Homo-oligomer: A and B are copies of this chain.
Amino acid sequence: MDNNSCIRQQADIKQINRCKDRVSELNGSFDYLSNGLKLAGNNVRLKILFLIYEEKRLCVCDISDILGMTISAVSQHLRKLKDRKLIETEREAQTIFYSLTKEYEKMLKPFFKILDENKILETL
Protein backbone atom coordinates (compact mmCIF):
# COMPACT_ATOMS: atom_id res chain seq x y z
CA MET A 1 0.00 0.00 0.00
CA ASP A 2 1.04 3.62 -0.37
CA ASN A 3 1.69 5.37 2.90
CA ASN A 4 1.61 8.89 1.57
CA SER A 5 -2.17 9.08 1.71
CA CYS A 6 -2.87 10.14 5.26
CA ILE A 7 0.02 10.73 7.63
CA ARG A 8 -1.58 13.42 9.70
CA GLN A 9 0.35 16.64 9.92
CA GLN A 10 0.74 16.62 13.68
CA ALA A 11 1.85 13.00 13.70
CA ASP A 12 4.65 12.24 16.14
CA ILE A 13 7.30 10.74 13.87
CA LYS A 14 9.40 9.54 16.80
CA GLN A 15 6.43 7.73 18.23
CA ILE A 16 5.61 6.13 14.89
CA ASN A 17 9.17 4.89 14.45
CA ARG A 18 9.39 3.61 18.01
CA CYS A 19 6.20 1.65 17.41
CA LYS A 20 7.41 0.27 14.09
CA ASP A 21 10.58 -1.00 15.76
CA ARG A 22 8.58 -2.51 18.59
CA VAL A 23 6.28 -4.37 16.22
CA SER A 24 9.05 -5.80 14.09
CA GLU A 25 11.00 -6.79 17.19
CA LEU A 26 8.05 -8.73 18.61
CA ASN A 27 6.62 -9.93 15.35
CA GLY A 28 7.02 -13.66 15.90
CA SER A 29 5.54 -13.40 19.38
CA PHE A 30 2.44 -11.65 18.03
CA ASP A 31 1.91 -14.48 15.60
CA TYR A 32 2.35 -17.11 18.25
CA LEU A 33 0.15 -15.45 20.88
CA SER A 34 -2.65 -14.46 18.49
CA ASN A 35 -2.71 -17.99 17.15
CA GLY A 36 -3.17 -19.34 20.68
CA LEU A 37 -5.87 -16.82 21.54
CA LYS A 38 -7.69 -17.63 18.32
CA LEU A 39 -7.82 -21.29 19.31
CA ALA A 40 -9.44 -20.40 22.63
CA GLY A 41 -11.58 -17.82 20.84
CA ASN A 42 -13.95 -20.38 19.48
CA ASN A 43 -17.09 -21.23 21.37
CA VAL A 44 -16.75 -24.99 21.02
CA ARG A 45 -13.01 -25.11 21.72
CA LEU A 46 -13.38 -22.90 24.79
CA LYS A 47 -16.00 -25.29 26.15
CA ILE A 48 -13.73 -28.25 25.39
CA LEU A 49 -10.83 -26.61 27.21
CA PHE A 50 -13.06 -25.76 30.16
CA LEU A 51 -14.47 -29.28 30.40
CA ILE A 52 -11.03 -30.85 30.24
CA TYR A 53 -9.87 -28.37 32.88
CA GLU A 54 -12.69 -29.25 35.25
CA GLU A 55 -12.72 -32.99 34.69
CA LYS A 56 -8.94 -33.41 34.39
CA ARG A 57 -9.31 -35.70 31.36
CA LEU A 58 -11.97 -36.66 28.81
CA CYS A 59 -12.15 -38.62 25.55
CA VAL A 60 -13.62 -37.43 22.23
CA CYS A 61 -16.68 -39.51 22.80
CA ASP A 62 -17.47 -37.94 26.18
CA ILE A 63 -17.07 -34.44 24.77
CA SER A 64 -19.16 -35.24 21.72
CA ASP A 65 -21.92 -36.48 23.99
CA ILE A 66 -21.71 -33.51 26.36
CA LEU A 67 -21.75 -30.90 23.60
CA GLY A 68 -24.21 -32.71 21.33
CA MET A 69 -21.83 -32.67 18.39
CA THR A 70 -20.50 -35.37 16.09
CA ILE A 71 -17.36 -37.16 17.19
CA SER A 72 -15.69 -36.14 13.96
CA ALA A 73 -16.30 -32.44 14.53
CA VAL A 74 -14.97 -32.64 18.09
CA SER A 75 -11.97 -34.68 16.97
CA GLN A 76 -11.02 -31.99 14.49
CA HIS A 77 -11.11 -29.34 17.22
CA LEU A 78 -9.03 -31.55 19.50
CA ARG A 79 -6.44 -31.95 16.81
CA LYS A 80 -6.04 -28.19 16.47
CA LEU A 81 -5.62 -27.84 20.22
CA LYS A 82 -3.13 -30.70 20.27
CA ASP A 83 -1.11 -29.38 17.32
CA ARG A 84 -0.65 -26.18 19.25
CA LYS A 85 0.12 -28.16 22.44
CA LEU A 86 -2.72 -26.72 24.53
CA ILE A 87 -3.71 -30.31 25.25
CA GLU A 88 -2.02 -33.70 25.24
CA THR A 89 -3.14 -37.31 24.89
CA GLU A 90 -2.82 -40.47 26.91
CA ARG A 91 -4.07 -43.79 25.53
CA GLU A 92 -5.87 -46.36 27.67
CA ALA A 93 -6.71 -49.42 25.56
CA GLN A 94 -8.96 -48.13 22.75
CA THR A 95 -9.78 -44.88 24.46
CA ILE A 96 -7.67 -41.75 24.05
CA PHE A 97 -7.91 -39.28 26.90
CA TYR A 98 -7.19 -35.60 26.44
CA SER A 99 -5.90 -33.33 29.17
CA LEU A 100 -4.53 -29.78 29.41
CA THR A 101 -0.78 -29.33 29.22
CA LYS A 102 0.62 -27.86 32.44
CA GLU A 103 1.55 -24.54 30.85
CA TYR A 104 -1.90 -23.90 29.52
CA GLU A 105 -3.67 -25.12 32.60
CA LYS A 106 -1.91 -22.32 34.47
CA MET A 107 -2.55 -19.83 31.72
CA LEU A 108 -6.26 -20.57 31.30
CA LYS A 109 -7.06 -20.80 35.00
CA PRO A 110 -7.87 -17.10 35.48
CA PHE A 111 -10.31 -17.18 32.56
CA PHE A 112 -12.07 -20.22 33.88
CA LYS A 113 -12.24 -18.66 37.34
CA ILE A 114 -14.08 -15.74 35.83
CA LEU A 115 -16.37 -18.06 33.90
CA ASP A 116 -17.06 -20.20 36.90
CA GLU A 117 -17.84 -17.35 39.20
CA ASN A 118 -20.14 -16.07 36.49
CA LYS A 119 -18.58 -12.69 36.98
CA ILE A 120 -17.93 -12.48 33.31
CA LEU A 121 -20.71 -10.13 32.36
CA GLU A 122 -19.64 -7.54 34.91
CA THR A 123 -15.88 -7.99 34.67
CA LEU A 124 -15.50 -7.74 30.94
Name A's B-contacting residues (CB within 8 A): 1, 3, 5-8, 10-12, 15-16, 19-20, 22-23, 26, 28-43, 45-47, 50-51, 54-55, 58-59, 61-62, 64-71, 95, 103-104, 107, 110-111, 114-116, 118, 120-121, 123-124
A121:B30 contact, CB within 8 angstroms: no
The majority secondary structure among interface residues of chain A is helix
Name 26 A/B residue pairs within 8 A (Cβ), A-sorted: A1-B68, A3-B65, A7-B65, A11-B61, A16-B65, A19-B66, A22-B54, A23-B51, A26-B50, A26-B115, A29-B120, A29-B121, A30-B43, A31-B43, A32-B124, A33-B111, A33-B120, A34-B40, A34-B42, A34-B43, A36-B41, A36-B124, A37-B37, A37-B38, A40-B41, A110-B110
- Name the 3 nearest CB pairs between A and B, nearest first: A38-B41, A37-B41, A41-B41
A61:B29 contact, CB within 8 angstroms: no
| Given A22-B54, A124-B103, A115:B61 Cβ within 8 A | no
